[in-house]
A = this chain, B = another copy of it.
């Protein structure tokens, strides 16, 4: 399968000499894959993402995105990448929703009319056409995130990068946002990289998970089902298991045995029925 992102062991040293080293295994994102980076705050997730986006360059190691070094040649690949940063507020330029979504098309040389058409189309696809004339700073947190996502996807990129997309949202909005991401990614067939510290949600969208520890070494990889049941690993990464996983661990310790490793409520009900 075509590899979109390839990172071999790399190291980054910040000006204040904090060293972030992400080694152990290769970090690879293939075409169409949804990858989650899970780790505690301050564990190097954002650093990794900044390298993918060419905002930082590693002291050692190599990073390839669409086959090029993003730090040196981001311009070549920037059209193929859509980004939603942690603090969406700082990424929305506005003034109105429509104009904000039109930003990228206009900057990539599309005409006013074309850009407008593209923006309207994506807003409709997102079900937020009614917001189009609203001024950005009067939107709610959840709405802002949707607009940022629309702005990132308006040019139909091949890779979507989301940094902590759920922080500050309530559970209902989180779920809504995840559903939107899942739906859109399926429709557009794009690869996704999401960084998050939310162990509860990660199983709902990721095909592959990477654990990043606060000791700043990238090393564990696997499907959510595999990784979330690695009790010891999670502890090493100072992460808590999701509630369901914890419950089944406790039940196993009490002597029960199950055939499957459930990671959500439905699976848990099935497992318990047996």
Q: Which residues from chain A sit less than 8 Å from chain B, CB to CB?
A: 16, 40-42, 138, 140-142, 167-173, 175, 197-200, 238-240, 242-244, 246-247, 250-251, 254, 256, 265-266, 268-269, 272-273
Contact = CB atoms under 8 A, between A and B. Distances in A.
A125 to B, nearest CB: 24
B273 A238 contact: no
A168 B170 contact: no
List the number of copies, as a whole number. 2
A247 B242 CA distance: 13
A170 B247 contact: no
B170 A41 contact: yes
A171 B239 contact: yes
A41 B272 contact: no
Contacts of A175: 240
B41 A141 contact: yes
Nearest to A262: B247
Contacts of A266: 250
A170 B200 CA distance: 11
